[in-house]
């Protein structure tokens, strides 16, 4: 009986191992594109569209795929002005993230140029030590609306200009299988992407003594979408390009839908967005495949 149970447990364990390994790891170009795109979504989730006065935001992003990680602080300032009975907001933000990795094994399959290598092929990647900077300015126009069927709500619409700068976004690689096994070089995704991003949001608020709850939803659309840029070196070659010119499409800069819930302690005018903390963690790994975890914390102080 013990032998039968031991064998059964071994089979069950083996089944779990097979199931866990059934989904192959995403290739390096796939995940290195998604890391900064998720960081952009975390910024859109923190746009200062709600409330009056001058708002200061401090935040933090921490996301990863395997040993690849992007993390760092976010900062923003916004001012509110009356405009023909509406609310005009001007804001600026600056987010700075570090890009790091350990020893990473996944397929090498770069879509931005054609190389002499037989790809895709399993590879080992090391040495990531780069940065991402997302900076921008924006304007938003909004109002408070009284509605007989859904109650009072706020709306906001606007546009922002942002530059996403990826620097030293480079990994050393060594191919582990295929006809070019043992070949080594570097793959570099450093680039600057500029977008005009229109956005729209709706929100409500409810007050309970010293506390206010503010659920809100926001849609952002970075335009234009860009081809993923990159450079790869290897035995006897050094090539650079982007996916748009290589016929692989424009992929960088995804539409973003974010959901938040601001919890405000009114005597201090201090808010935390517990909604986006939860929804960005839950939804982004499904929206951007290959992302294992995503944390986005936003704190606001208004005066």
Collapsing DSSP states into helix, strand and coil, what is residue 277? Answer: helix
- Whether 31 has a pLDDT exceeding 80, the answer reads yes
Q: Do the Cβ atoms of 288 and 39 come closer than 8 Å?
A: no
Confidence at 151, pLDDT banded by 50, 70, 90? confident
Collapsing DSSP states into helix, strand and coil, what is residue 1? Answer: coil
pLDDT at 130: 97
Q: Do the Cβ atoms of 161 and 196 come closer than 8 Å?
A: yes
Q: In CATH, what is the architecture of 26-302?
A: Beta Barrel (2.40)
Taking the C-alpha atoms of residue 238 and residue 128, their distance in angstroms, rounded to an integer, is 19
Q: Do the Cβ atoms of 203 and 276 come closer than 8 Å?
A: no
Mean pLDDT of all residues in 110-127: 93
pTM above 0.75, yes or no: yes
Taking the C-alpha atoms of residue 226 and residue 170, their distance in angstroms, rounded to an integer, is 19
pLDDT tens-digit series, residues 197-233: 999 999 999 999 999 999 999 999 999 999 999 999 9
Contacts for 60 with CB less than 8 Å, ≥ 6 apart: 71, 72, 73, 74, 295, 296, 297
How many CB atoms lie under 10 A from the CB of residue 137? 12
pLDDT tens-digit series, residues 36-49: 999 999 999 999 89
pLDDT at 110: 86
Query: Could you tell me the residue ranges of all domains in the chain?
Result: 26-302
* Cα angle for residues 76, 79, 81 (degrees, 5° grid): 160
């Amino acid at each position: 009986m013990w032998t039968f149970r031991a064998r059964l447990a071994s089979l069950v364990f083996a089944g779990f191992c097979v199931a866990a390994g059934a989904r192959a790891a995403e290739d390096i170009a796939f995940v290195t594109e998604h890391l900064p795109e998720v960081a952009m979504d975390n910024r859109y989730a923190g746009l200062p569209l709600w409330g009056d006065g001058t708002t200061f935001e401090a935040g933090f992003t921490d996301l990863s795929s395997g040993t690849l990680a992007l993390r760092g602080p976010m900062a923003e300032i916004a001012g509110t002005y009356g405009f023909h009975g509406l609310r005009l907001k001007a804001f600026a933000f600056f987010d700075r993230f570090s890009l790091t990795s350990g020893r990473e094994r996944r397929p090498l399959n770069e879509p931005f140029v054609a190389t002499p290598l037989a790809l895709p092929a399993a590879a080992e990647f090391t040495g990531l030590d780069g940065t991402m900077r997302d900076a921008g300015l924006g304007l938003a126009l909004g109002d408070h609306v009284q509605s007989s069927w859904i109650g009072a709500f706020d709306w906001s619409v606007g546009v922002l200009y942002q530059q996403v700068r990826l620097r030293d976004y480079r990994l050393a690689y060594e191919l582990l299988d295929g006809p070019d096994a043992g070949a080594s070089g570097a793959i570099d995704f450093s680039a600057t992407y500029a977008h005009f991003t229109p956005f729209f949001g709706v929100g409500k608020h409810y007050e309970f003594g010293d506390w206010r709850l503010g659920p809100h939803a926001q849609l952002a659309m970075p335009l234009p979408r860009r081809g993923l840029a990159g450079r790869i070196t290897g035995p006897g070659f050094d090539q650079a390009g982007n996916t748009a010119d290589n016929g692989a499409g424009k992929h960088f800069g995804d539409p973003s839908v974010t959901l938040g819930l601001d919890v405000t302690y009114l005597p201090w005018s201090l808010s935390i967005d517990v909604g986006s903390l939860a929804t960005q963690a839950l939804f982004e790994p499904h929206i951007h495949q290959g992302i294992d975890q995503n944390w986005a914390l936003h704190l606001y102080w208004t005066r």
